[in-house]
Structure 1
Amino acid sequence: MQKTKRFGKDFILVIIGQIISLFGNAVLRFALPLYLFDQTGSPTLLGLVSAGSFLPMVVLSPVGGIVADRVNKRNIMVVLDFSAAALIALFALALGRMPLVPLLMAVLLLLYGIQGAYQPAVQASIPLLAAPEQLMPANAAVNMVSSLASLVGPVLGGVLYSWNGLRPILYVSCACFVFSAVMETFIRIPHASRGDGGSIWRVAQKDMARSLRYIFREKPVVGRIILLVCAFNLFMSSMLIIGLPVILRQTLAVDTLRYGLSQGALAAGGLAGGILAGVLGERLDIRRAHFLLLGCALGILPMGLSLALAPASAGYVVVAVCSFMLMVLSTLFSVQMMAFVQSQTPGELVGKVISCLLALSMCAQPIGQAMYGVLFEQCPAWLVVCGASGVSALVALASRAAFRSLR
């Protein structure tokens, strides 16, 4: 029997470009919210700025999907990486010369918008560069790359931030985006030009309607799962985005380096989950994916209890361990969902459907981030974490029937 070739040169170049680009992104995601929180000390302000900056990702993910199905995906990656580099260079010049909060808000808005348009191009390129039977390991590889970048990024970011503040991080991330863009120019992704005619807005409206019709009418169970994931993000993901900086920097009073290491634990869990997904492959059953969500929900309960009952040193260890396990489970879930959607979706709809899936699943997060900013300001951290665990567990249990109906 002839052995199937796993991945070609172009897929490997996409992976290498992702490592470099996502490393620059991970350093910024670590540093910018931390810098804002250190300068203001306000969980409410952190929640509001995070919520506002997240909106462009939700809005532009579907647009990115439409563009990804009609424009050469390599060109999208190159243009967006160069744009991110220019944005960070301008931010470095303006830092200290303009008011911090509106400046940081504008940069985060644009940065998340770029990320929202970027990811659909990457995800839509996977079925074109990997054989159908390799979709699971290909998605696992992409997730591992993201986790690897997120593992190294916060740790190095913590060192650089402790050493000389925000500016070295800006220079490193800018260089990463430029290097990634140059490397991506050598990628060849199959692309067939589509001449649908009409204005861009009419085409976008038509494509969006077709994608939503596919999700909610042709594959309605996928639509139900997206809504459940949306609810899970509202109560779980949003809590982690706002809660971890507050818990670690304010409640446990850890230094910048240990904060970076804790963020590295999150990414290490994602890396381990990606490796595990690649090893297990087809043995992962999408019909049992609700157990992974339930594990995520229950996995943060020890974190909340440790904040109420344990000393700060023990609480830090519990938070790091829970973060690791949480990311193992959530990465397994993400890989399963992405591979399932890619295998079930017609080729001409892959980019649009994935972008709609990402946007719809994330649309509750800005609301959740604003909500948790207020809750962490007004309530004990342990109570907020334990409450989020309980509600998220109920959402996970509610998703059982929808996952079991998948084939």
Structure 2
Amino acid sequence: LVSLTGSALSRFAVGLHIYQGSASVTPFALISFFYFLPMVALSPVAGALVDRWDRRRAVLLGDLGAGFSTLLLWLLLAADRAGLSQLRPWHVYATIVIGSVFGALRLPAIHATTALLVPKQHLGRANGLLDLAVAIAQIGAPVASAALLARSGIETVLLIDLATFLFAAATVLLVRFPAPPRTDEGRAAGGSLGKELAYGFSFIGARPGLRGLLLQAAITNLAMGLVTVLITPLVMSFAGVPTLAFIQSVAGAGMLAGGVVMSAWGGPRRRMAGLIAFTFLSGLALLLAALPPSATTVALAAAAFLFCLPPITSAANSIWQLKVPPDVQGRVFAAR
């Protein structure tokens, strides 16, 4: 939760800094592009390493690497303020790429470890708690980041983010990560790194149900990416930074409510039916955003859309965690 909050603070601050400096959507959208590109490109390698390594090591390396990228951006900003060099947009993109490279290790390791720590019947609640942590960060970060930007500048926000990464790394050192049990699938998937890189894709390709689940996730992530990228320029076209921070906090409240519901409920017994139902409801929320823009309309649409995300992601993650053997989850989760 602490690390997520710090990341949300800096993500809001960096995005706003880039948008205000260029007054263009393209440089702002490139932040998301350079954040996701390394994750997509390096996911197969990261998944194979997660299954080979101790998973605590993978999470720790991800935290420290992301913290290094934040420190590097802070140094570049400090040099710009001191007149030693001029900060260019590509400097920001480069630090985002570095953080994303290490993040590619962290995400599959966390999701793969959840199934080892939590009983099967409670996976829905556990995944709901993960979404709840994201929502709490989403609510507080925009308002806090806007206030810090106005009072102390972006450098202070980045230092706070760096401190949260160090806290997260220290916490990981105190937690025992159990080793996954060996399975026949895991033994068959072993061998050269090249074979392990391809295994995640072949595992999914051989199972029609997982292929369909992957297609649903791709559509949901595309919609989420569009919302994430376009909400800032949309709101800034008719309002200012306080309104943007308010709308993002309201949206986070919607996700918080969804996370609370999933943490207490655990999701429907028929996970796939629940996933489809909430995906349909999230589509209706996006239709609301197509109305003439106003702070109220955008806030309600974003809150409704994000309310649906915890039930969707919790159901999907639970299905993956139940259907994929523990000792190949790193490769399969990275491939998806």
Normalised by the length of structure 1, the TM-score is: 0.74
Task: Provide the aligned length of Structure 1 versus Structure 2.
Answer: 324
Equivalent residue, structure 1, for 2:14: 32
**Aligned pair partner of 1:216 in 205, 229, 233:** 205
Distance 2:332 2:323 in 1: 11
Distance 2:43 2:16 in 1: 25
Unaligned 5+ residue runs, structure 2? none
**Aligned pair partner of 1:295 in 260, 278, 281:** 281
The structure-2 alpha-carbon separation of the partners of 1:145 and 1:245, relative to structure 1 and needing over 3 Å to count, comes to: same
Equivalent residue, structure 2, for 1:325: 304
- Per-residue CA deviation, residues 128-180 of structure 1 (Å, 9 max, x unaligned), is 11122221111111121122122222221121112232111111101111111
Equivalent residue, structure 1, for 2:253: 268
Matched residue type, 1:54: F
Equivalent residue, structure 1, for 2:229: 242
Shift in Å, 1:306: 2.9
Shift in Å, 1:239: 1.9
Distance 2:269 2:147 in 1: 38
Cα RMSD between the aligned structures? 2.2
Unaligned 5+ residue runs, structure 1? 1-18, 308-314, 358-407
Shift in Å, 1:100: 2.1
Equivalent residue, structure 2, for 1:133: 121
**Aligned pair partner of 1:258 in 230, 243, 254:** 243
Shift in Å, 1:113: 2.2
Matched residue type, 2:224: S
Distance 2:181 2:260 in 1: 36
Q: Helix, strand or coil for the counterpart of 1:252? A: coil
**Aligned pair partner of 2:149 in 161, 171, 185:** 161
**Identical residues among aligned pairs (%):** 24
Matched residue type, 2:287: L
The structure-2 alpha-carbon separation of the partners of 1:268 and 1:65, relative to structure 1 and needing over 3 Å to count, comes to: farther
Shift in Å, 1:232: 4.2
Q: Is the 8 A contact 2:116 2:180 kept in 1?
A: no
Task: Answer yes or no: is 1:285 the counterpart of 2:270.
Answer: yes
Distance 2:265 2:138 in 1: 23
Alignment of 1:75-224 (within 5 A): 75-95=57-77, 96=80, 97-191=85-179, 203-217=192-206, 219-224=207-212
Distance 1:56 1:323 in 2: 27
Distance 1:151 1:115 in 2: 22
Normalised by the length of structure 2, the TM-score is: 0.89
Runs of 4+ more than 6 Å apart: none
Task: Answer yes or no: is 1:59 the counterpart of 2:48.
Answer: no
Q: Is the 8 A contact 2:272 2:315 kept in 1?
A: no
Matched residue type, 1:207: E
Equivalent residue, structure 2, for 1:349: 328
Matched residue type, 1:108: I
Matched residue type, 1:264: S
Equivalent residue, structure 1, for 2:319: 340
Deviates most, 30-39 or 162-171: 162-171
